[in-house]
Amino acid sequence: MTMQPWFTEAKLGILVHWGIYAVDGVPESWSFFGGDLTRDAYMRQLDGFTASRYRPDGWALLFRRAGAKYAVLTAKHHDGVALWDTRRSDLSVAGRSPAARDLVGPFAEAVRRQGLRVGLYFSHSDWSHPDYPSVRPSSLHRPWVDNRYAMPAPGQEDPDRWERFLEGVHRGQIRELQDLYRPDLLWFDGAWERDERQWRMRELREEILRRRPETVLNGRMLGHGDYATPELGVPIIRPEGPWELCYTIGDAWGYQPGDVHPKSVRELVRVFAETIGHGGNLLLNTGPKEDGTIPADHADRLEGLGGWIRRNREAVEGTVAGLPYGHHYGPSLISEDRRTLFLVCFDTPRFFTELRGLRNAVKTASVLGTGEALGHRGVGGFPSRGVPGVVRIDAPVLRDPYATVIALELDGEIDLYRGAGEG
């Protein structure tokens, strides 16, 4: 699998959970699956979904200002409600809500106009289609998946209905999305209720790539995606290969009026730096209201993150994953030519910042954003045995409000000492 370079270079994407669940502000899909609401009550939200203030150009501009290079919209969540005028089911906001139009096309166009890549979220599972709960997986690795919206009772299986769903709805809708909107990224979810064999994921992958070979596929394809998709927590160990952390600005994915404690810009900068320092992308989620407006406190956070990225652009754009743990207390990034090292300092460096295990000489040390030059010196070590000392870099006078980045220009390509107990 060769990864499209735009994806690994992107570093920041925005995920948008928008659907009828924003009308009453209930959890997306899960609220009726879990029985908090009947499915009828959940679906009555269709009547209140207006998209009356939907300005996708405004969204796309905000996402670009946040520093994002791609944006992903929930074309269809587990509730089965399509945001486009699908011909493959009668459940769409185009056909059944006052919004009465395609919402995906204008999103894709607006996002492209801002120079960003287009991603579409699509749930494999569909808890509304009558043919979906027709077969059971070979094993229920999570007991709560045994639910009437997801599968029939044992002994009531009907493989013909499953085939009808798979070909007619699942494949049919993915083809519609590809043909109508040419997404650069298909962001799947909800594969856990069937086996790989039942979904025929390998074939799905092949079919998508036949239609558009450059399409990137997220990891939720039971082994047939392009990259790992951890959710809500920065991995402790650096994942191998490309990866992307999906993460909420608030507590929920979709809009919920009680979700009023969004993470601060400082927290978001931290999680972003930790993610990219380990070579991943951050896919940061917001949930617009039913009318299509992005909550103001989420927009503020996105602007704040974008400001930090602009001040520290050199460390973000065109850099690769930084040092493994142990050299610097915080994330770091390395320039593509491997001659500049960027140290991210979250907590105010008061006296000095320390860097261990660097064999190179440091030519200059400076602060991104302000350009302030910093004094630095090597201390200790056992140079005749090739054991470097510690580099001590003076604390800057002016610090970034969220995270200060120190750029170190090295005398050559970075050369790390990882020795333990030698000499």
Chain residues that interact with ligand GLC, rule: CB under 6 A: 28, 189, 231, 246, 253
Nearer to ligand GLC, 28 or 126 (CB): 28
Alpha carbon 357 to chain centroid distance?
A: 32
Select 158 or 231, whichever has its Cβ closest to ligand GLC: 231
**Cβ(280)–Cβ(10) under 8 Å?**
no
What is residue 137's three-state secondary structure? coil
CB of 230 to ligand GLC, least distance (A): 10
Residue of 200, 174, 8 lying closest to 75 (CA atoms): 174
Closer to ligand GLC by CB, 21 or 308: give it.
21
Q: Which is nearer to ligand GLC, 151 or 367 (CB)?
A: 151
Helix (DSSP H) and strand (DSSP E) numbers for the chain: 14, 15
CB of 124 to ligand GLC, least distance (A): 11
Token reading at 179: 């043909």
Judging by DSSP bridges, how do beta strands 185-189 and 216-217 pair with one another?
A: parallel
Nearest distance, CB of residue 219 and ligand GLC, angstroms = 11
Are 95 and 39 a contacting pair, CB within 8 Å?
no
Taking the complex as a whole, how short is the minimal distance between the CB of residue 231 and ligand GLC, in angstroms? 5
CB nearer to ligand GLC: give 285 or 335.
285
**Is 69 strand, coil or helix?**
coil
Q: Is 102 or 189 the residue whose CB approaches ligand GLC more closely?
A: 189
CB of 368 to ligand GLC, least distance (A): 32
**Closest distance between ligand GLC and the C-beta of residue 189, in Å?**
5
Q: Give the tokens for residue 113.
A: 């106009």
Residue 88: CA atoms inside 13 Å, Cβ hemisphere, count? 24
Measured from the CB atom, is 25 or 381 closer to ligand GLC?
25
By C-beta, is 124 or 327 nearer to ligand GLC? 124
Say how far apart CA 13 and CA 32 lie, in whole Å.
Answer: 29
Task: Read off the tokens for 33.
Answer: 């699956």
Instruction: Say whether 310 sits in a helix, a strand or coil.
Output: helix
Q: Which is nearer to ligand GLC, 295 or 330 (CB)?
A: 295
Q: What is the closest distance, in whole angstroms, from the C-beta atom of residue 150 to ligand GLC in the complex?
A: 12
What is the per-residue DSSP string for 97-108? STT-S-SHHHHH
Neighbouring C-alpha atoms within 13 Å toward the C-beta of 411: 7
Query: Could you tell me the smallest distance in angstroms from the CB atom of residue 119 to ligand GLC?
Result: 12
**Comparison of 75 and 169: residue with beta carbon closer to ligand GLC:** 75
Helix (H, G, I), strand (E, B) or coil at 352: strand
Instruction: Supply angle C-alpha 86, 87, 92, rounded to 5.
Output: 40
Q: How far is the CB of 232 from ligand GLC (least distance, A)?
A: 8
Taking CB atoms, the residue at the shortest distance from ligand GLC is 246
φ/ψ region of 351 (left if φ > 0, alpha if ψ in -120 to 50, else beta) reads: alpha
Measured CA to CA, the distance from residue 409 to residue 93 in angstroms comes to: 54
* Closest distance of CB 343 from ligand GLC, Å: 31
- Residue whose C-alpha is closest to residue 305's, from 255, 336, 262: 262
Instruction: Annotate 314-341 with b (16+ C-beta within 10 A) or e (fewer).
Output: bbbeebebbbeeebbbbbbbbbeeebbb
Q: Name the 3-class secondary structure at 162.
A: helix
Of residues 163 and 231, the one with the C-beta less far from ligand GLC = 231
Least Å from the CB of residue 76 to ligand GLC: 11
